[in-house]
Structure 1
Amino acid sequence: MDRTTIDTYTGAAQRYADEWASQPQPDDLYALLTRHFRPGGTTVDIGCGSGRDVAWLNANGFPAAGYDASEGLIAQASAHYPQFTFQQATLPELAGVANAAFDNVLCETVVMHLPPAQVSTACARLLELLKPGGVLFLSWRVTEGESVRDASGRLYSAFETSIVRQALNGTTLALDAAAVNQSSGKRVHRVVAIRN
Structure 2
Amino acid sequence: MDSKTIETYTSGAAGYTTEWANQPAPGDLYARLTQYFRPRGTTVDVGCGSGRDVAWLNDHGYPAVGYDASEGLIAQAAAEYPRYAFGLATLPELTGVPNASFDNALCETVIMHLPVAQIDAACRRLVELLKPGGVLYLSWRVTAGDSARDSAGRLYSAFDPVLVIGALEGTTIALDEDAVNRSSGKRVQRIVAIRA
Q: TM-score, normalised by structure 2?
A: 0.99
Give the 3-state SS of the residue equivalent to 2:98 in structure 1. coil
* Count of aligned positions: 196
Letter in 2 for 1:107: C
Q: Which residue of 1 aligns with 2:67?
A: 67
Q: Equivalents in 1 of 2:186, 2:144: separation in Å?
A: 13
Identity within the alignment, %:
70
Counterpart of 2:188? 188
Match of 2:7? 7
**Any idea what SS the aligned residue of 2:84 has?**
coil
Q: Which amino acid aligns with 1:54?
A: V
What is residue 80 of structure 1 aligned with on the other side? 80
Structure 1 residue aligned with 2:19: 19
CA distance in 2, matches of 1:44, 1:171: 18
- 2:132: which partner in 1? 132
The equivalent residue for 2:53 is: 53
Partner of 1:123: 123
The equivalent residue for 1:40 is 40
Amino acid corresponding to residue 89 of structure 1 in structure 2: A
Deviation at 1:144, TM superposition (A): 1.2
Where in structure 1 do 4 or more consecutive aligned residues deviate above 2 Å? none
C-alpha separation between the residues in 1 aligned to 2:144 and 2:27?
26
Q: Give the Cα–Cα distance (whole angstroms) in 1 for the partners of residues 23 and 160 of structure 2.
A: 28
Asked whether the 8 Å contact 2:9–2:70 carries over to 1, the reply is: yes
SS in 2 for 1:92: coil
3-state DSSP class of the match of 2:127? helix
Query: Separation in 1 of the partners of 2:77 and 2:44?
Result: 14
Residue ranges of structure 2 left out of the alignment (5+ in a row)? none
Matches of 1:12 and 1:165 in 2, distance apart? 32
In structure 1, what is the Cα distance between the partners aligned to 2:12 and 2:173?
Answer: 36
